[in-house]
Structure 1
Amino acid sequence: MAPGVEGAEPADPHCDPDNPRVMQFQEISAAAYKIKDGLPRTPCTRSGLSRAVGMEIYFKKEYLQFTGSFKERGARYSLMMLPPEQRQVGVIAASAGNHALALAYHGSQLGIPVTVVMPIVAPMMKVQLCRQHGAVVIEHGRDIGELSCHVYCAAVVVTRVLCCRYDHPHILAGQGTMGLEIIEQVPDVDAVVIPVGGGGLIAGVALAVKSLRPNVKIIGVESEKCASFTASLESGKPVYVRAMSTLADGLAVPLPGVNAFATAAPLIDKMVVVSEEQIALAILRLVELEKAVVEGAGATGLAAVLAGLLPELKGQKVVIPLCGGNIDTTVLGRCLERGLAADGRLCRFLVTVSDRPGGIAELTKLLAGIGVSIKDIFHERAWLTSHIYSVEVKCVVETRDREHARQLEEMLRHHYGQVVFGVNEVRANCV
């Protein structure tokens, strides 16, 4: 590990903290030529959300890649750049999902053996897909730090090339090809808003875009649960930040790549941080309005716009990469519910009503009268300290919007007296 850096990954000869490598535009151009026959050009289309947010939004739909993420760009290029003798031996990499899938798929296409080390908590779907593509999968550890140590030791033992998911020069060059496509598809773009984890994507795209259009703004977005790149910019060097559980699990990289940081830092115009609620709301908006299923990490760019964190872009033409669509189906359900709550369309309240016939019926009639739909209802009698002929009812309800939720509050206050109304919760009592 890098000395004195908690959680730092084992040394990679291509990723030396003492001698970081700044990428050159020519490397991205070479990568684009090399991979053009093996990857589709994803669409970059105008969004129906443009009017609502006051910007001309274009979504670069990287979730439409075969394995569902932009990681295919760097994976294919890094595999194609292997010397013939190393192609026979193959590569090994640590990944929680998308990089592993990309390597496994393109390794099978190019006839290169691939071994991926994945955490034991990785979604079973991703593990099985890697195996279906012919990769050897080793399940080990619970976080990326444990994975990286294990994969480095394994690489030494089997003499396979260590393929860093976000900091190897070939990975950065491959990811940068997205920037070339953005400029071709939206030539008069004013800004590109890019999700940031280890920094490989923003480094490659920023270099490509700024080389061709120096005046285009490059804005990075991180999850508040792991804002390691923001902290690194403030420190002037990559620093370790402990990663917490987040909807944007693909961005939970505690230590940015040294090459990625050296390349991206001078090119980034602004960094912003988004909350879990804002990410969930972005996922919801994409499902409802764009008919796009995008994972948390891929939705953070839109989250920053919806949260009003980029007011300087009003009236401008903005490209947002939707970087990946590999979201677990159970997690998607939770994200949609969180998004509904953040949007004021899912509320819960506790109300104490009469336990005599008609008490609960009166409550449901009141809710129906203002068009509130009950999703769940629960009764509690044993632990009440009020009148013996009373029952506490907990309701989870759907409302149309925040204004409708406000009407719900007023109705409860009018009929049941004292009410404590929070963002997602109402407490009411009847005497």
Structure 2
Amino acid sequence: MPVEDRVLPVTVADVEAAAQLLEPVIRRTPVVRSRALSDLLGGPVYLKCENQQRAGSFKIRGAYTRMARLSDEEKARGVVAASAGNHAQGVALAARLLGIESRVYMPVGAPLPKLDATRGYGAEVVLTGSTVDECLSSALAHAESSGAVMIHPFDHPDVVAGQGTIALELLEQQPEVKTVLVSTGGGGLLAGVATVIKARRPDIRVIGVQAQTAAAYPPSLAAGKPESLPSMSTMADGIAVGRPGDVPFTIVDNLVDEVVTVDEETISRALILMLERQKLLIEPAGAVAVAALLGGQLEIETPALAVLSGGNVDPLLLMRLIRHGLASSGRYLRLQVRVPDSPGSLAALLMRLATTDANVMEVEHVRTGPHTPVNEVEVALWLETRGPAHCEQVVADLTAAGYQPQRD
């Protein structure tokens, strides 16, 4: 059925109206070319940098659109929201701009910078539960008891329309694009982008990307209705949503070409690639669209464009992610090596490693253990290398020297 004949919750006209409303409020974020990704795919790849949007993500677009359309009576009652951080900041900023009181429920483990930013915009923050879904339950209960207006992070036509304004921009900025990849949690961003693209350029392939361990869309699309995940676990907290929204699901089911998943290792690699090669700081949820390009499992027609949905990352998490990403890309090597329990054995091992040009970062010397012979000690090593080939060289050199290194 042609796009124009389908009755969907949001139309391109709704998105165009949202764009007029948002014009004095948001930034028109840049589209930049990635040489590294272009070389990898053999054709032009571009990045839509919503990590540079106000409040650090695309969420201000949907939050402001929804809240600006409230009646004076609704505004007077205040608003309530639930979020892992990005929607929280979008709602808090929109509330400040519109003079509305706001309360936001956030998971107990929400990153400190996101908490501080949300409070800094003037919102009252309440920590509850460990997931966005638990926060949503608390926010809905507060809305019912207090009369505050619930500003859902993705399940409302105005929110979807606001998020879709990204697609209006990217089609003007890169009209030759053939494939658009969008990070996906509850589906508001993906639905908004698909609404515009399939109305204006139905030839463009739209792909949603989810974290493999928090992917509610594939089973929901297979079932033909939103389904809840029994559990989730992903570093990409911004898209850790256990059930698609009813409004975005209808649009995604009708308009999106494919929803794929990426694993945690590939998300880490994508984040490191953006830092090293693109000089862009993005959060894990913002990296999943790039991760889909790195996985090598998709046939991508270029020019392609990935939406970097946000850049609000906890510095402590960033340090762990950098280390994890370096390890998954072969820049770190962890080895277990047994050496004789005699003076000089550890020094000899380290001297041998020095000849390989591997940088020893950590050494753990285990003298006793249930599987360690009485006349040997086990040495655990973290090494910094120049990449996978160098890792293989280090292992081969230690083996040639008589050691029996075991990769961890």
What TM-score comes out, normalization by structure 2 length?
Answer: 0.94
For residues 370 and 107 of structure 2, the distance between their equivalents in structure 1, rounded to whole angstroms, comes to: 46
Say if 1:248 and 1:297, in contact at 8 Å, map to a contact too: yes
Identity %: 38
What SS is found at the alignment partner of 1:412?
Answer: helix
Q: State the one-letter code of the partner of 1:262.
A: T
Task: Please give the residue correspondences for 1:104-123 in structure 2 after superposition, counting only pairs within 5 Å.
Answer: 104-123=92-111
Residues 1:391 and 2:368 are matched in the alignment:
no
Which residue number corresponds to residue 67 of structure 1? 55
Q: Could you give the per-residue CA deviations for residues 106-145 of structure 1, whole angstroms, max 9, x where no partner exists?
A: 2111211111111222223322222221112222222223
Alpha-carbon distance change, 361 to 200 in structure 1, aligned in 2, over 3 angstroms: same
1:344 aligns with 2:330: yes
* Residue of structure 1 equivalent to 2:395: 409
1:58 is aligned, of 46, 65, 85, to 46
CA shift at 1:206, angstroms? 0.7
Q: Which residue of 2 aligns with 1:282?
A: 270
Query: What letter matches 2:332 in structure 1?
Result: L
1:207 paired to 2:195:
yes
State the partner residue of 2:4: none
Report the CA distance between 1:389 and its aligned residue.
Answer: 4.9
2: distance between equivalents of 1:419 and 1:376?
A: 16
RMSD of equivalent CA atoms: 1.6
**Amino acid in structure 2 at the alignment position of 1:221:** V
* Contact map agreement 1:28 1:173 (CA 8 A) in 2: yes
**What is the match of residue 279 of structure 2?**
291
Aligned runs of 1:82-231 on 2, under 5 Å?
82-231=70-219
1:254 paired with 2:224, answer no
Contact 1:272 1:309 (8 Å CA) reproduced:
no
Taking a change above 3 Å as real, the CA distance of residues 407 and 59 of structure 1, as seen in their structure-2 partners, is same
Q: Is the 8 A contact 1:193 1:321 kept in 2?
A: yes
Distance in 2 between the 1:63 and 1:201 partners? 14
Amino acid at match of 2:109: V
Match of 1:9 in 2: none
* 1:7 matched residue in structure 2: none
Equivalent position amino acid for 2:21 in 1:
K
CA distance in 1, matches of 2:381, 2:252: 49
Say if 1:269 and 1:191 are closer, same or farther in 2 by CA, change over 3 A: same
Contact 1:384 1:391 (C-alpha < 8 Å) held by counterparts? no
CA contact (8 A) 2:232 2:242 kept: no
CA distance in 1, matches of 2:57, 2:88: 11
Q: Aligned to 1:320, what secondary structure does the other structure show?
A: strand
* Matched position secondary structure for 1:335: helix
- Aligned-pair CA distance for 1:418: 4.2
User: Residues 348 and 330 (structure 1 numbering): CA distance in 2 closer, same or farther, change over 3 Å?
Assistant: same
The offset of 1:350, in angstroms, is: 1.2
Aligned to 1:377: 363
Aligned in 2, Cα 1:387/1:231: closer, same or farther, shift over 3 Å? Answer: closer
Cα distance in structure 1, aligned partners of 2:384 and 2:80: 48
The whole-number CA distance in structure 1 between the counterparts of 2:8 and 2:149 is 19
- Cα distance, 1:323–1:385 mapped onto 2, change above 3 Å: closer
CA distance in 1, matches of 2:140, 2:131: 15
Letter in 2 for 1:63: N
Equivalent residues, number? 401
Closer/same/farther in 2, CA of residues 104 and 378 from structure 1, 3 Å limit: same
Counterpart residue identity of residue 54, structure 1: G
1:162 and 1:86 mapped to 2: Cα distance?
10
1:13 equivalent in structure 2: none
Counterpart CA distance in 2 for 1:55 and 1:306 is 14
**Structure 2: gaps spanning 5 or more residues:** 1-6
Question: TM-score scaled by structure 1?
Answer: 0.89
